[in-house]
Chain A
Amino acid sequence: MKAWNDTEYTEGRRFDVLNVNRKQLLAAMVVLLLVPTLSWGAGFAIFEHGAKSMGMAGAFTAVADDPSAMYWNPAGLAFQQDKGMQLMVGATLISPSQDLAGSPLGSYPGAGYKASQESQVFYPPHFFFIMPISSTLTVGVGAFTPYGLGTWWKPNFAGRFISKRVDLKTFDTAFNLSWRANDWLGLSAGVDYAVGQIDLTTGIGFINPYTQQLADVGQVHMFTDGMGSDAFGWNISAFAKLGYGFTAGVTYRSTLDVKYDGYGSFTQYPTGYADFDAALGSQIPFGQKVALKTEIKHPDVMSIGLAWSNEQWTISGNYMWQGWATFDSLPITFPDYPQLDQTVEEGYKNVSNYRLGVEYRINEMYAVQFGGLYDDTPQPEFSMSPLLGDADRRGLTAGFSVTVKQMRFDFSYMHLFMDQRGTDGISVDGFDVNYKTSADLFSMSFTYQF
């Protein structure tokens, strides 16, 4: 029995197709920049860049047998030459659910307070194109969203002075060259060009000196437009066929130190006390769009995998290490209004995660995948906030692949169970709640062999 992708029928046509579709591909990549996304890996990493790999819970570093290898292990491209040019496009629909409840150990928002995030569906997309350029060399281009988070709370949410709504994402365009050194070893090196976007709205609260109570005096919408908020990174990887059906892989992706240039747009809410409003107006640039800067150093990532396959089965395990200690703080500075500068303490730690996946190829047309994962959260309890309240997570996955001639359709589902977790009186923001989170993820990918 052949695996679904053991085909030869794209030979001879690959370059023409590339020429025809170049503009469309670029257009697609621009569109990808515009969509919202959110966090569904440890911290605000996203691992779901291919439906089949998600169906195997991301245990894909030692499998790497489809174009999503561009993320998991680009060295795996070296052994996909017999498939010719391949294009994979897809998206992962993510439906998160998060409730929070005030902790009796914290004075704000207080025990008994409850809130739920607004319903949102995110769809971080993925795009990969790979092309053999000689008998041993393959190039790959990929576009995916390795980092992102999105949370949205109701307007009267008690944590509105920390965040009303955030959409943060880092879009990665990768270019890799993969080399099949011999029959059993493939190596790859690549560059990553990352563009970061931040869109964060927070309320501005002050104690009204007349009422001596909390007053919503305005809000600030902080955002970047993608221009100039970028960084370069690199990646190296190796893929080895060890014999007896065993394969192994290792991938290292560097840090992405994105420096953001953006704006803060301040809006004032009248309080009914004209001189109080005027006093605030003399300190805060209401009605203006002022420059801001921030920086996020995304972690470096190392993934190591071991897999065993025969004609029908693949069993794969994956260990991933993430150097999240790079995310120690989030400084937001307003060069023209230094009194508005703020630094959010994050204090992330380096973490590991573990993935186990299985694929069963029923016949040439159908295959199914299953998997499970465990992600250790890099976020310490004290920095959990309405921006991101993370926790250790366990995931179960199932996937389904259909191959029809040059086309393959992958569908997969993941349910993430997250531990209930809270700050219990140590919140750096003075916002002590317990977070309860879960998520359902649906991924679809379409792969075409030219």
Chain B
Amino acid sequence: MKKILAIAVAAVVLAAVPAGAVDFTTYVALGDSLTAGFSQGGLVETYQEYSYPKLLADQIGATVFEQPLVSEPGIPPILMLQQLLPSPVIVPSSDTPGQPLNATYPAPYNNLGVPGASLYDLLFTTGDIYNLLAGNTDNVMHDLILRDGEHTALEQAIGLNPTFVTLWIGNNDILGAAVYATPIEGVTMTPVANFQEMYQQALGALAQYTSADIVVFNLPDVTAIPFVTTIKPYITLPDGTHVPLIGSKGPLPENAYVTLGASSLLAQGIGVPVEIGGTGIPLPEDMQIVGGHAVPGVVLRPEEVSIINDRVAAFNQIIQATADAVGAKVFDINSIFNRIANEGHWGVGGLEINTDYLLGGIFGYDGVHPQKIGYGMVASELIDFLNTTYGLKVRGELIPQVNMYDIMTGSAEDQPAPGLTAQDARRAFTAEAFGALQKVFRPLRIDVPRTPRHPAGRVSMAHPNVKSQAVMH
């Protein structure tokens, strides 16, 4: 009888332990600026606290989730809206950047999203906090976040013995083509073969050296961001007729895109035909290298958009196939953004927020990165995905949703009240604002110092302090 009872009890106990339950004890997020909580052109505590990994960590009850927090006004100083009408003016909020707040944390951060990082950087680039503190700004974000001078983001993630990992990498392997309005193989876009090799290497290492449940994000359409979609390639006259703007290759077709980088040029009459009051000087369409520095173009013609979109699709196929091969789940952020674009909004609380610049609610002033509400939306969709994919709702272990009402109605302490100045001649994205963005999103192969090492060399990288936490297994 006792034996039967014991078996019965064992059966009950076994039934109570769900097969395949996700262990969220140690969560590590890998990625780029979108993972870091980069917003308004800068990395700053007030937005990092709303990064999607931080929001998710709060909801899964992670006891430790450290981020490389930066004091206000951020690194670089975040942008601010100086005026909305008669035309928007976006400027850096300060000339002096913020300071690292958490640089002595004696372990790798749980949020290892590095603004500007490409897939290559995930695998090969390190950073040294002493380099940054010495005043060198050649590798700011990696120095700030990776700190130890030796271990890559991937190595540090593995060193944390994560039980759950999210990986959203690859945006910067194509985003440069949109920000610089010039798709160039190997310069603003990573070649497909290289991407495939590196993605397999990165995800393979996570699968091999950790026992974590891994969720990878695919890539959204980088030509659907407000930075690209806001400015029309024509000027509408009072009678409704369209006068095309002028690019260096001629008048722009109606289905071309003009990036926010053109704002200050347009304000000076550049790109505007003489007959309607402009200078007739064409907009620079494509990126040029001047003195070893990239000078961005500001026009994406339809054929360039096709090249970029095709590349995103190719990368997403690789992401899906690689994830399938190692048993990782794919969070299809691409479809979510497309759905929002097609439906015109993301419904929340009876409100309709969308991807419009400034008034849409999802994106911040840089036109590339979400603001708090947009990151909340990503976290909300991710939690839905996790609850569904891992059957958490069925098992009664659901991750409670983020609270968008709180995110949307929180205090506005991080935004100083705007004061109108005499800079009204400039439109939207000022040259300074654009310059700040370029410092973070440099072309892949122009001027960013790299520390390429073969992955095989990583196994011996055990060191005290921060480094001791980044031992590979």
Contacts and interface: CB of A to CB of B under 8 A. Distances in A.
Interface of A: 102-113, 158-162, 202, 205-214, 273, 275-276, 278-279, 385, 425, 428-432
Contacts of A278: 85
Given A105-B400, A110-B401, 13 more contacts: A105-B393, A107-B383, A109-B403, A111-B400, A112-B403, A160-B350, A209-B359, A212-B364, A213-B408, A214-B409, A429-B349, A430-B346, A430-B347
Contacts of A425: 384, 401
Contact of A105 (B371, B401, B415): B401
Interface residues of B, number: 40
B372 interface: yes
B400 A207 contact: no
B404 interface: yes
B411 to A, nearest CB: 8
B84 A273 contact: yes
B351 A205 contact: yes
Contact of A213 (B383, B384, B410): B410
Contacts of A208: 412
B348 interface: yes
A161 B404 CA distance: 14
B130 interface: no
Contact of A110 (B347, B373, B404): B404
6 contacts: A112-B403, A206-B359, A207-B373, A212-B364, A214-B409, A429-B349
Contacts of A110: 401-406
B458 to A, nearest CB: 39
Interface string B372-397: 11001000100110010000010000
Given A211-B412, A429-B349, A431-B350, A111 B84 contact: no
A211 B409 CA distance: 10
A419 B365 CA distance: 46
Nearest to A106: B401
Contacts of B361: 206-207, 212
Nearest to B371: A212
B373 to A, nearest CB: 7
Contacts of A161: 349-351
A108 B404 contact: yes
Interface of B: 81, 83-85, 346-351, 353, 358-361, 364, 371-373, 376, 380, 383-384, 387, 393, 398, 400-406, 408-410, 412, 415, 417-418
A207 B348 contact: no
A103 B408 CA distance: 17
Given A107-B402, A158-B405, A209 B84 contact: yes
B347 A428 contact: yes
A159 B418 CA distance: 30
Contacts of B417: 210
Given A107-B402, A159-B350, A430-B348, A212 B372 contact: yes
Contacts of B387: 105
Given A210-B415, A214-B409, A108 B349 contact: yes
B350 to A, nearest CB: 4
B380 to A, nearest CB: 4
Contacts of B84: 209-210, 273, 275-276, 279
B404 to A, nearest CB: 4
A276 B351 CA distance: 18
Contact of A108 (B372, B393, B405, B410): B405
A202 B83 CA distance: 29
Nearest to A276: B84
Contacts of B398: 104-105
B403 A429 contact: no
Nearest to A278: B85
Pairs of residues from A and B, 4 with the lowest C-beta to C-beta distance, nearest first: A110-B403, A207-B361, A211-B412, A161-B350
A189 B73 CA distance: 77
Nearest to A202: B350
Given A161-B349, A275-B84, A212 B373 contact: yes
Nearest to B408: A214
B412 A213 contact: yes
A214 B347 CA distance: 14
A275 B351 contact: no
Nearest to B359: A209
A214 B351 contact: yes
Contacts of B410: 213
Contact of A107 (B393, B403, B409): B403
Nearest to A429: B350
Given A205-B351, A279-B85, A213 B409 contact: yes
A101 to B, nearest CB: 13
Nearest to B59: A104
Contacts of B83: 275
A385 B350 CA distance: 9
B85 A111 contact: no
B359 A107 contact: no
Contacts of A107: 348, 376, 380, 383, 401-404
A276 B81 CA distance: 11
Contacts of B412: 208, 210-213
B353 A207 contact: yes
A208 B411 CA distance: 12
B384 A430 contact: no
Contacts of A113: 405
A349 to B, nearest CB: 22
A200 B438 CA distance: 49
Contacts of A202: 350
A110 B85 CA distance: 35
A104 B400 contact: yes
Nearest to A209: B358
B387 to A, nearest CB: 7
A115 B59 CA distance: 23
Nearest to B47: A212
Nearest to B387: A105
A279 B359 contact: yes
A430 B415 contact: no
Contacts of B409: 213-214
Q: Which of B350, B351, B404 has the most CB of A within 10 A?
A: B350
Contact of A158 (B81, B349, B371, B384): B349
A208 to B, nearest CB: 8
Most buried by B among A108, A112, A160: A108
A208 B353 CA distance: 11
Nearest to B402: A107
Nearest to B411: A213
Nearest to A205: B351
A199 to B, nearest CB: 18
